[in-house]
Amino acid sequence: MQLIRQIFMRVSPKFKQTYETYLALHDVLMVREHPANLANLLATCEPNGAAIDMTTATLKRHKVAVLNAITSPDSNGPIEGVNRVIESLKRSCFGFKNQQNFFKKITA
C-alpha cells in the first residue's frame, strides 16, 4: 500500500497535495493541536479540484465552531447516545398502547 501511495505521489502532484492536506487536517483535528495550527492550515490550503476542497471549504465556513470543538474538553457524545437510545426505543415500541409504558421504558 505504501509503495502504491509513493508511486501516485511521484506521478500526480494533485494526489500528493491532496494527501498532504488530508494528513495535516487529520493531525490538527485528531491530535487537537493548537487552534492556530488549524487556522494557518485553512488559510494556506489551495483548492486543486479534489474532493478535499469541499472539506476545507466547510471547515473554513464553520471555523469558529471547529476551533471551539478542538479546544473544548466537552463533548455532546453522551447526549447523542441517549438520543439514539430513545429513537431506537421509539421504533421498537411503536405498538405500546399506553404512553406511560413508553416513558417507563426510556427511564429504565
Q: Could you give the number of structural domains in the chain?
A: 2
From the list 78, 90, 71, 84, the residue with the least C-alpha distance to 29 is 71
- What nine digits make up the cell of 94? 411503536
pTM reported for the whole predicted model: 0.56
Q: Are residues 42 and 81 in the same domain?
A: no
What is the domain extent for residue 21?
A: 2-71
**pLDDT value of residue 12:** 77
What pLDDT, in 10s, does the model give residues 70-106?
Answer: 787 888 888 899 889 888 877 777 666 777 777 777 7
Q: Are residues 53 and 23 in the same domain?
A: yes
